[in-house]
Amino acid sequence: QLQLQESGPGLVQPSETLSLSCAVSGDSISSSRFYWGWIRQPPGKGLEWIGHIYYSGSTYYNPSLESRVTISVDTSNNQFSLRLSSVTAADTAVYYCARIRTTSNWFDPWGQGTLVTVSS
């Protein structure tokens, strides 16, 4: 059964870089049928697509975050990562990783999510 698990610091200082990883188990991240993506949800608010990556390294980002976001893939360890630079309190959110079907772009499954708080 495919599972995704986020990991990373729960507290990040303002202006620093947020770094998270997503470990994939039960399927190969090198599948040609899927992308691997990140979504976030500020407390009490809705979902926001951050971006996604193909196993080849091709990346696609939300235009509103593109200048600060980097998503990378590590096929040898079957995981992918998110880096968000110059964070502010507005970046405080639960961050989810998910598998995304190519073409149709549906998200399934999702990781359990990890809360990242930006505060000094």
Partner 1 sequence: QSALTQPRSVSGSPGQSVTISCTGTSSDVGRYNYVSWYQQHPGKAPKLMIYDVTKRPSGVPDRFSGSKSDNTASLTISGLQAEDEADYYCCSHAGMYTLVFGGGTKMTVL
Binding interface with partner 1 (CB under 8 A): 39, 46-49, 52, 60, 62-64, 96, 101, 103-113
Sign of CA dihedral 47, 50, 53, 59: positive
Question: How big is the CA angle at 112 (ends 94 and 79), to the nearest 5 degrees?
Answer: 95
43 vs 76, beta carbon nearer partner 1: 43
76 vs 104, beta carbon nearer partner 1: 104
13 vs 102, beta carbon nearer partner 1: 102
CB of 109 to partner 1, least distance (A): 8
58 vs 75, beta carbon nearer partner 1: 58
CB of 113 to partner 1, least distance (A): 5
Distance separating alpha carbons of residues 111 and 21, to the nearest angstrom:
11
CB of 8 to partner 1, least distance (A): 16
95 contacts 6 by C-beta, under 8 angstroms: yes
Q: What is the DSSP letter of 90?
A: G
Q: How many helices (H) and strands (E) does the chain have?
A: 0, 11
Distance separating alpha carbons of residues 41 and 101, to the nearest angstrom:
21
CB of 50 to partner 1, least distance (A): 10
